[in-house]
Amino acid sequence: MLIRKLFKFENAHIVRNCSSERCRTSIHGHSYKVEVLLEADALDNGQMVYDFGLMKGTIRDVIDAFDHAICFWDKDDAQYIQLCQTFSARWISMPVSPSAEQFARVFFVIIDQLLQQTMMANGESAVRLHSIIAHETETGYAQAFRHDAYNPRMGEIKLSDVIFSEQCQREWHDPKMYEKLLAGAQFNNPVIPQQV
């Protein structure tokens, strides 16, 4: 069974080397919608694949870090990167271009690792990240599956190469969350007393 949770954020970028002149030469923004699709072959103690409320923790924090931020490819012009970091408190450096396709892949890699490092506590059974859909506009979106997220032909994404500004990190429920993720720390879902 599949479930999907929708998140929204506003973000600015330049997509270098793309066909659209405006997109490759000017900073511009989008109202993004990101769908996180989870799957499982069994339901938890609450008769759910995964409680939507649990997705309001670290998963939402990661996606919310992109809100009112500027994203840039770490291979872009050094002066441009410097200016992004100087004039925006909220920025994210990515090892790939900030296209809708790469947003979907970056979110997949981060959320997949978060789920792998999360100790389930309410009977969740082999919950897996199915895919990520990144809507850049009302009519255009990209959907990344597992084989896309880890496909080196689309650009390697290492968690350590996705860098969040200090301001983005400060606004997380746990400002050390990404540091803990990189270190392989365990995240714990709450233990729920059974009512039935």
Is 68 an annotated catalytic residue? yes
Helix (DSSP H) and strand (DSSP E) numbers for the chain: 7, 9
Task: Identify whether 23 is a catalytic site residue.
Answer: yes
Amino acid at 160: S
In angstroms, the first-to-last Cα distance of the chain is 23
User: d(Cα 11, Cα 35) in Å, to the nearest integer?
Assistant: 16
Residue of 39, 136, 138, 156 marked catalytic: 136
* Tokens encoding 63: 């996606």
CA distance 21 to 25: 6
Please give the C-alpha separations between residue 52 and each of 32, 48, 59, 66, 189, in angstroms, as whole numbers. Answer: 20, 9, 11, 20, 12
Catalytic residue among 23, 35, 39, 171: 23
Q: Determine which one of 35, 39, 68, 171 is catalytic.
A: 68
- Helix, strand, or coil (residue 100): helix
Which residues are catalytic, by number?
23, 68, 136
